[in-house]
Chain A
Amino acid sequence: AQSVTQLGSHVSVSEGALVLLRCNYSSSVPPYLFWYVQYPNQGLQLLLKYTTGATLVKGINGFEAEFKKSETSFHLTKPSAHMSDAAEYFCAVSDPLIYNQGGKLIFGQGTELSVKP
């Protein structure tokens, strides 16, 4: 069965500092990979995803992530944090080999990002 691990339930950075949110997955085959962001009392918004092709994926709001098959990782980064980045971030996977079960997402436990002025 697939699983997703996000290291660190809470991450705090200073404004302007590098943001690094870690995500590792467990799967027998490389899955599709997603990062979603959730602002307070809102639904989830897609930041970026990897399905095929280039392993470095750029998303909205200056975020990017790199799929590393050898490390089974899909860490999320942003060079310079902004106060508006404070939110909860979820890494998720879907299995490309599960026929007729659509793209149901398996989520990590989430990482709450705080940005200090």
Chain B
Amino acid sequence: GAGVSQSPSNKVTEKGKDVELRCDPISGHTALYWYRQSLGQGLEFLIYFQGNSAPDKSGLPSDRFSAERTGGSVSTLTIQRTQQEDSAVYLCASSRTRPRLAGGGETQYFGPGTRLLVL
């Protein structure tokens, strides 16, 4: 079946502009994650959605970052007033079932990422 898809694959923007990154998870997956991969910081967790529960936003680096998930499926990560340090690859992942109440262990399936360059 289809995997996690992300769009655009590449985005070049000017400092101060807003950008929107899209993630389509695997059909039926209830959990959705955003991560950021950058040279200086490695792979970092940003935000997690599970069904209709309030998202875990603990990894968002600033209030310029926000994300939403509509209808329990597609998610959009928005970065406002982009800065050069926002340049990175933004990865989305989804998992099949709700992680157990005691924490996760389910496999996360990753999309190919969106490569963001802020000039």
Report which A residues bind B (CB closer than 8 A). 32, 36, 41-46, 49, 51-52, 90, 92, 94-110
Contact = CB atoms under 8 A, between A and B. Distances in A.
B105 A96 contact: yes
A43 B111 contact: yes
Interface string B61-94: 0000000000000000000000000000001010
14 contacts: A43-B112, A51-B105, A94-B105, A96-B102, A97-B103, A101-B103, A102-B33, A102-B99, A103-B99, A104-B48, A104-B104, A105-B104, A107-B43, A108-B42
A78 B59 CA distance: 34
B110 A44 contact: yes
Interface of A is mostly: loop
Contacts of A106: 45
Interface residues of B, number: 31
B27 to A, nearest CB: 17
Contacts of A95: 103
B101 interface: yes
A101 B56 contact: yes
Contact of A103 (B43, B59, B104, B113): B104
Contacts of B111: 43
A58 B31 CA distance: 25
A95 to B, nearest CB: 5
